[in-house]
Amino acid sequence: MTTDLLIEGRHFRRDWSSGYDIGRKAAAQNLSDVAAMGARPTGIVVGLGLPADASTGWLDDLTDGLRDECDLVGASVVGGDVTRCDAVVIGVTALGDLGGRAPVTRSGARPGDVVAVTGRLGHAAAGLALLRAGVTVPAEQAGLVEAHRRPLPPYARGPEAAGLGATAMLDVSDGLLQDLGHVARASGVGVVLDPVRLPVPGALREAADLLGADPLEWVLSGGDDHALAATFPNGVALPSEWTMVGRIIEGGGVRVEGRSVEHGGWDHFRE
């Protein structure tokens, strides 16, 4: 079981994202957390606060988005509640089935394990940067804006990782550095990332050139893509969808080889 909140103006803007996109995003970020424990998502319940200016058409789009995202994993919207609110507030609780297995938590990583990721990293952050800049987005970067509006979590990879013996796992919602920091603290270990292995596709590089940014910073610190990061015993044969990007060592914290970086990422209580 997992729960999360989305608040208008902080997690989404209705002038940037459609009701359908917001519904897909609200379901995705919770279903991804279930997959990140090695479970199969089964259902969600939704608490919804709506302002008076929210039309029934917008609400229909939102609920269509919730339904369609659940359909991807064979889950359903099984209940919820609606109330009036000054802004749109969406609280989703997702449920899942471990099939009798123990959940994969953040606390099982051990020195000698490898760190691997699957799914997109930095795309949503780049898309948000393009929207904030107010630039005309070239066709080649349109997919980055869509990544901000609607994530594509690699749902099937979570149970797959559990079956491969993953020792720790989480979904990357607040940035790779920050989220792996949770693994480091919970497991009492250190994490070392190899920047050469981190995936930086051409669209990210082109968007970074357009905005004068560093695409690797988006990959390391950008949230909302809901990729999965997991640790595995050294020697496990990983499927092609997983990319090994680092290793677990004695000590603590997260560092990137050859780079001086702060633990960027989303922090709800930091200005």
Sequence-separated (6 or more) residues with CB below 8 Å from residue 197: 243, 244, 245, 246
Low-confidence stretches of the chain (pLDDT < 50) are none
Q: Is 63 annotated as a binding residue?
A: no
Looking at residue 139, what is its pLDDT? 87
Q: Is position 86 annotated in a ligand binding site?
A: no
Task: Quote the CA–CA distance of 228 and 220 in Å, as a whole number.
Answer: 13
Query: How high is the pLDDT of residue 263?
Result: 52
> What is the phi/psi pair of residue 39, to 5°?
-105, 165
Q: What are the boundaries of each domain within the chain? A: 2-97, 114-256
pLDDT in the model for residue 15: 92
Asked whether residue 173 is marked as a ligand-binding residue, the answer is yes
Q: Which of 87, 98, 86 is nearest to 41 (CA)?
A: 98
d(CA 157, CA 154): 6
* 11 labelled ligand-binding: yes
Taking only the tens place, the pLDDT of each residue in 2-50 is 999 999 998 999 999 999 999 999 999 999 999 999 999 999 999 999 9
Tokens 């760190």, residue located = 115
- Position 133 scores a pLDDT of 95
Asked whether residue 194 is marked as a ligand-binding residue, the answer is no
The 2-7 sheet, strands edge to edge: 2-7, 89-97, 40-50, 76-84
Say what the pLDDT of residue 3 is: 96
Q: Does the annotation flag 182 for ligand binding?
A: no
Residue 2 annotated in ligand binding: no
Q: Which of the four CATH numbers 3.30.1330.10, 3.40.190.10, 3.20.20.70, 3.40.50.720 does domain 2-97 have? A: 3.30.1330.10
Instruction: Determine if residue 68 is labeled as part of a ligand binding site.
Output: no
Instruction: Please check if 171 is assigned to a binding site.
Output: yes
Selected from 3.40.50.300, 3.40.640.10, 3.90.650.10, 3.30.1360.120, the CATH number assigned to the domain covering 114-256 reads: 3.90.650.10
Is residue 107 annotated as involved in ligand binding? no
